[in-house]
Amino acid sequence: MYNPSISELRKFLESYVAEEPARLNHGGWWRKPLLVSAPVDQRFDVLTEIAMDEHLHPRDLLKTAKSVVVFFIPFVKELIKENRSGKRPCRNWGLAYVETNDLINRAGEAIADFLKTAGYASGLTPATHNFDERRLMARWSHKHLAHLAGLGRFGVHFMLITPAGVCGRFGSLVTEADLGDNPLMDDPEACLLKAGKKCGKCIERCPVNALTENGFDRRKCWDRLNENLHTLDYYADLPSTTHVCGKCNTMLPCSFINPVKQEMFSS
Ligand code: SF4
Ligand code: SF4
């Protein structure tokens, strides 16, 4: 049976994202996406320890899964700059969140269809809100999967820093196709503070003090996201799942790059 390669999948996703602005009839919010794959091996057994005790295993999505595919769609600099000022997220930050989640869901399905034509089934979950509302933890965490598959490393802000930085959104799927191990990051840390260098700018930036060097108060953060959604007039027409802020990741050392490596991703 024909086995699609990682470069074919990467090109497929790049084209899919590149076509989105024309479909939406505006300039779009996205830079070139990143995509990695990893075999379904014992590394994913730790998900219930590092992410959440009820986290699903890749084989819970598809019993015959051989690979995990995780992708990241980074935002353009203009959007990230726009969200820098003030203590509340801008209108476009919310709109980009909504349109990116929709794009991620469709892109995931398109990748699954692409793999299906080669004879491989896939399993998918939504881009967001697949989590326990009480514990504020995801049962399918794209970020933890991305970490295990070598797409990024967690920063002090509990977001994942990829080779294209932290501002953007993740999607993932599992598939029967044997795609191999294709990470984009093997550095132990991508956060300056975690790598023993000076930073902590994300901690200073949080308007509700939800971040410290060693912890993240999920409840404080979640309350702020809800407050933004329910009090900002310019979010009134956006879906009830538009939980955004972004102040701890816009225009910071890790916004666009892996700051420990100090290299702009350019492949
Ligand atoms: S702003 Fe600095 S301390 Fe915070 S996650 Fe980014 S690199 Fe780490
Ligand atoms: S998203 Fe906003 S509220 Fe949550 S930790 Fe970051 S800056 Fe704080």
Torsion over CA: 235, 239, 241, 247 (sign): negative
* Parallel, antiparallel or unpaired: strands 160-161 and 153-154: antiparallel
Answer yes or no: is pLDDT of 50 > 60: yes
Question: Closest residue (by CA) to atom 6 of ligand 1?
Answer: 254
> Atom of ligand 1 at shortest distance to CA of 259?
7
Closest CA to 58 of 72, 49, 47: 47
If pLDDT is split at 50, 70 and 90, which confidence band does 266 have?
A: very low
Angle between helices 6-18 and 91-117 (to 10 degrees): 140
- In testing the pocket of ligand 2, which one of 154, 247, 255 has its CB within 8 Å of the most ligand atoms? 247
Mean pLDDT of 69-92: 97
> Atom of ligand 1 at shortest distance to CA of 192?
7
**Residue extents of the structural domains in the chain:** 6-235
Q: Give residue 89 CA to ligand 2 midpoint distance, Å.
A: 10
Q: Give residue 239 CA to ligand 1 midpoint distance, Å.
A: 30
Closest CA to 164 of 33, 29, 40, 49: 33
- In testing the pocket of ligand 1, which one of 84, 202, 213, 262 has its CB within 8 Å of the most ligand atoms? 202
Q: Is the CB of 193 under 6 A from ligand 1?
A: yes
What pLDDT was estimated at residue 128? 59
Q: Map 208-228 to HEC letters.
A: CCCEECCEECHHHHHHHHHHH
Q: Which residues in the chain belong to E strands, given as ranges?
A: 34-39, 67-74, 122-124, 131-132, 137-138, 153-154, 160-161, 168-175, 211-212, 215-216
- In testing the pocket of ligand 1, which one of 193, 204, 251 has its CB within 8 Å of the most ligand atoms? 193
Q: Give residue 71 CA to ligand 1 midpoint distance, Å.
A: 21
The CA angle 43-139-28, to the nearest 5 degrees, is 95
What pLDDT was estimated at residue 126? 65
Answer yes or no: is pLDDT of 73 > 50: yes
Answer yes or no: is pLDDT of 70 > 50: yes
Structure tokens of 134? 């009480």
What predicted TM-score, i.e. pTM, was given to this entire model?
0.94
Closest-approaching ligand to the CA atom of 97? 2
Q: How far apart are CA 31 and CA 17, in angstroms?
A: 8
If pLDDT is split at 50, 70 and 90, which confidence band does 199 have?
A: very high
**What is the secondary structure of 163-182 as a DSSP string?**
TTBSSEEEEEEEESS----B
Closest CA to 179 of 17, 35, 32: 35
For 82-139, what is each residue's pLDDT tens digit?
999 999 999 999 999 999 999 999 999 999 999 999 999 999 986 655 767 777 788 8
Question: Closest residue (by CA) to atom 2 of ligand 2?
Answer: 245
Question: Closest residue (by CA) to atom 3 of ligand 2?
Answer: 221
The three-state secondary structure class of 196 is: coil
Question: Closest residue (by CA) to atom 8 of ligand 1?
Answer: 191
pLDDT mean across residues, the chain:
93
Pocket, ligand 2, Cβ cutoff 6 A: 157, 205-206, 208, 210-211, 221, 224, 245, 247-248
What pLDDT was estimated at residue 267? 39
> Atom of ligand 2 at shortest distance to CA of 246?
1
Q: Give residue 136 CA to ligand 1 midpoint distance, Å.
A: 22
Characterize 134-164 residue by residue with b for buried, 16 or more Cβ atoms within 10 angstroms of its Cβ, and e for exposed: eeeebbbbbbbbbbbbbbbbbbbbebbbbbb
Mean pLDDT of 149-174: 97
